[in-house]
Structure 1
């Protein structure tokens, strides 16, 4: 009999298991995949740590969280500076003076601000009612057409005019020559990959993989006094209030035997509508690799269907209304704790997942 059954070996489950074990609690972690780490899982391919489920760059302004993860890994100095490719034209992200110079040839912040202001005013949007209008009112038509529209429509599988404005309440616009995507003080990739980091969190904890909790929910639930559940909350309640919507992703990973450097950057976004994938990741650049080969991954967004991996919650009014019903059920539970992005129907960055897990530990065990 365990104190806690933790369903899901991702960051939330691993942090909870580590903290509970440290306090003398017994934990069993199960996962339906054949590996730990959830979506931050990395595997070595040709001497390169490959991010199997898309690029993961750790970043935070919270020194407490930064110090916490540094218990389990040494982080390198990687800085996220993605490139946007629009039909062969290359632009820096986030939108900054390098972007504006390439777009318009402007060399001063004042010129760039004036250009955006002119385009906003020409659009004449006083109260944005959809994502397209919201984006144009923030950054003008040129940036919207080349760097937002196509990428966003691929990501969400819907026309920008049919998406709610709140999806991009604000866009990062910098009038400096700074290509660092994140403003956070702390940033990097764990040397040796995320899997090694999660392995250290789970040292001494019982872990069982290739197990679907729902194939024998009663059996697994009876193994512990309490459950920490990090899966889909609607599935836990047998979809009784309806199915929550997600966007999914498909990954096409290729080893290039005769190429040492494919694109010169870890992440290149393809922002035109015609290119079917949203980005290409070249994994070696996350750790400044010098291998003779390289590994690239093309990322294809798709509509989520049962059996697919859910990645991004679709936080529109319909889904939020459904989630609130499940949340009310969850709040009535005495022996079940819900945590992580699937169980709370919220998109989290890694530092936010860890922060939420630590807060849960404090409420539960301290």
Structure 2
């Protein structure tokens, strides 16, 4: 550690990327400080116990991976249950299974065989003479009119706050279609939820690490930079560089959480509401992630929202304009010798949890920390 420095590493953000980096640094004997602007640790996987139920405060997070190294890593801290994600979609009062599979096609058309389903989709697909120019054209070319109109259009327009013809085609480069009666949302070999919730994983990763919450890096930036030899930064990359090239765009989300005096509200952890006139995109019933048997239940209605200054940024808008803008910030980041940029906001990229952990571990391999 250089003279005058109090820490080897300052980790800005106590989500998964920051927590894994802090763990690896401490494990190697480095002195680490983790700060987070929120009043709690855990980033978007933070859970609050309500009525004896672990409520995921920032939306549904299901751990899934094919990476054995990552699976073994998280299981060295906490035990996972055998939860397998299965999503339902509610449209015009009817229930459909997601992703699209033979159960979905039976509910739509009454078909019962892979051949019948494939033929029905082929009949409905819209042939294109050129590359699809927008999301609507892409969806119609991939799965046809019925699936698009009933299960894609309303949900997508709510999610992004824009009409499908105004959204870029690349948002749905592919749509998973299964010609089996398999309702599993993920194909990954390893899946589950930590026993006792995600807070248990974060607590173990940060055990023995100095942490400070409700602490804004930018409010006292010069002090933090002076205290640490190196910084792990997981916040918005454009803000780190004082919006030198302009601001990146995001979609935000808000939740309305309610405790209900019944043991089971919807019979599944997640039900998507795909009708355009319903303002929320889905309802999460948290107890089902851990097979809860409590007398009450807790649900969260999820409402997409336009991101504005001061709101939480959740989904990067990776269109051509924002991708080009991020590229400029990425070039600046590469020149920062003493800063590791990582995670969804610092890399302006949607990550699954296993990908975040893998990236954090590789970042510290590059640091030559054993």
Question: Which interval holds the TM-score relative to the shorter structure?
Answer: over 0.9
Q: Paired residue for 2:230?
A: 226
1:59 to 53, 60, 64: 64
TM-fit CA distance, 1:365 = 2.9
Runs of at least 5 residues in structure 2 that lack an aligned partner in the other structure: 1-5
Match of 2:149 in 1: 145
Deviation per residue, 1:219-247 (Å, 9 max, x gap) = 11111101110000000011110000000
Map 1:216-295 onto structure 2 (within 5 A).
216-256=220-260, 258-295=261-298
Q: Which residue matches 1:215?
A: 219
Between the aligned partners of 2:30 and 2:296, the Cα distance in structure 1 is 45
CA drift at 1:124:
3.3
Distance between the aligned counterparts of 1:144 and 1:261, measured in 2? 31
Alignment of 1:310-329 (within 5 A): 310-329=313-332
Q: Is the counterpart of residue 155 in structure 1 residue 159 in structure 2? A: yes
| Residue 76 (str. 1) matches residue 81 (str. 2) | yes
Deviation of residue 136 (structure 1)? 1.0
Question: Which SS does the other structure have where 1:365 is aligned?
Answer: coil
Report SS of the residue matched to 1:264.
coil
Which position in structure 2 is the counterpart of 1:125? Answer: 128
Alpha-carbon distance in structure 2 between the residues aligned to 1:351 and 1:318: 28
Query: What is the CA–CA distance in structure 1 between the aligned matches of 2:147 and 2:362, rounded to whole Å?
Result: 39
Report if aligned partners of 1:75, 1:191 keep a CA contact under 8 Å in 2.
yes
User: Is residue 181 of structure 1 aligned with residue 181 of structure 2?
Assistant: no
Distance 1:64 1:159 in 2: 41
Verify: 1:363 aligned to 2:363, yes or no.
no
Q: Give the whole-Å Cα distance in 2 for the aligned partners of 1:255 and 1:159.
A: 34
- Do 1:280 and 1:299's aligned partners in 2 also have CA atoms closer than 8 Å? yes
Q: Does the 8 A contact of 1:20 with 1:365 survive in 2?
A: no
- Which secondary structure state, in structure 2, belongs to the residue aligned with residue 196 of structure 1? helix
Q: Secondary structure at the match of 2:346?
A: helix
> Where does structure 1 lack aligned partners over 5 or more consecutive residues?
none
Hey, which bits of structure 1, 4+ residues long, moved more than 4 A? none
Following superposition, the deviation at residue 125 of structure 1 comes to: 2.6
Matched residue SS, 1:195: helix
1:331 to 326, 331, 334: 334
